[in-house]
Amino acid sequence: MLRRGFQVAVILGHHGTLPGATHLLPRFNPASAFGSSTESLVSRFCQEMTKGKNYALPNASWGPDMLSLYHEFLEKTKTSGWVRVPSFRSNRDHIQGFKLPLDLSANSDKSDWRLFTRCIEREGQGYEYVIFFQPSEKKSICLFQPGPYLEGVPGFVHGGSLAALIDETFSKTAYLSGEGLLTVNFNIRFKNLIPLGSLAVLNVNVEKIEDQKMYLSCVTQSRDQQTVYAKASGTFLQMHLEKDSSRQ
């Protein structure tokens, strides 16, 4: 169950149009800032849900490459502290009992709204992926098998769809590593095209955390690391979620 000692908080001031992302910075007591340890975030965020499908599990569309690497990492979750990050249809399912800072919850989130990278239901047609996180090193690995609905250049993955999955992996890593919530900068350099149906491996690292911002990097490559598909970097703004007192 959710830990009770979680810090409530942050009233997000409504800022005007300041340059950069500073207008989104909440006013709060710096001493209490982001006290949630990676451990507590993992335990809260990575719970298996009793209802709601967990998409971070093998299905019939997963090719042998994807399966074997998945099992390798599954072993590591037992032996060396890796965590398999559950993946739900909506991020709302991850943050049960909590809500976004006031300024961001302008739109009521409807139940049929879906996480972008889980938008294509049909197995094997869109994003097949699973993220494993290593809390002690603040890094993750995402195994990605793109389906035919992610096409850009004929036969290959749409650059935007890869960018979206990198952003998503950044997002989960950033949150678990220190409540990084919103992307403020995203940079991607494409090196090689990924063929649809093949396995790509995303290696994400938190490079540093400074001034309420987390800096992450990602290298997307083939399993044998012989082909680098893309390199990316992202900056995330750290933000507390408020406890939703309207719920039990």
Q: Is residue 100 part of the contact set for another protein (CB under 8 A)?
A: yes
Distances (CA, A) of 99 to 34, 120, 215: 16, 26, 24
* Cβ atoms of 166 and 234 closer than 8 Å: yes
Closest distance to another protein from the beta carbon of 48 (Å): 20
**Taking contact as CB under 8 A, which single stretch among the options 34-42, 134-142, 163-171, 203-211 is the one that binds another protein?**
163-171
Give the x-and-dash track for 3-32 against another protein (CB under 8 A): --------------x--xx-xx--------
* Cβ atoms of 174 and 215 closer than 8 Å: no
Strands 213-221 and 83-85 come out as unpaired
* Cβ atoms of 117 and 169 closer than 8 Å: no
Contacts of 19 (CB under 8 A, 6+ apart): none
Residue selected from 9, 74, 102, 228 as contacting another protein according to rule CB under 8 A: 228
DSSP state of 175: H
Q: What part of residues 107-146 is at the interface with another protein (CB under 8 A)?
A: 107-110, 112-117, 119-120, 125-126
Nearer to another protein, 82 or 200 (CB): 200
- The residues of the shown chain that bind another protein, judged by CB under 8 A, are 17, 20-21, 23-24, 90-92, 95, 100, 104-110, 112-117, 119-120, 125-126, 148-155, 158-161, 163-168, 171, 181-193, 195-198, 222, 224, 226-228
